Copies of this chain bind each other. A is one copy, B any other.
Amino acid sequence: MHAQEVTYKEAGFGNALPLGKSPAILVVDFSYGFTDTTYPTAADMSEQILRTRTLTDIARAKTIPVIYTTIAYQPWERDHLTWLKKASGMKDLLVGTRLTEIDARTGIEPTDPIVVKHGASAFFGTNLMSLLTSAAVDTVVVCGATTSGCVRATAVDAVQCGLSVLVPSDCVGDRAVAPHEASLYDINQKYANVVDCDSVLSWLEQL
Chain A positions within 8 Å of B, measured between CB atoms, are 3-4, 7-8, 10-15, 17-18, 20, 40-41, 43, 74-77, 80-83, 85-92, 111-114, 118-121, 124-127, 129-136, 138, 148-149, 153, 156-157, 159-164, 175-176, 178-179, 182-183, 185-186, 190-192
Q: Is the CB of A91 within 8 A of B129?
A: no
Number of this chain's copies in the complex: 4
Q: Is the CB of B17 within 8 A of A162?
A: no
**Cα of A76 to Cα of B106 in the assembled complex, Å:** 18
User: Using Cβ atoms and an 8 Å threshold, which residues of chain B touch A80?
Assistant: 131, 134-135
Name A18's closest neighbour in chain B (CB-CB): B85
Q: Is the CB of A86 within 8 A of B159?
A: yes
Sorted nearest first, the 7 A-B pairs with minimum C-beta distance are A12-B89, A133-B162, A182-B182, A125-B127, A134-B162, A119-B160, A76-B113
Q: Is the CB of A40 within 8 A of B10?
A: yes
- Closest chain-B Cβ to A97's Cβ sits at a distance in Å of 15
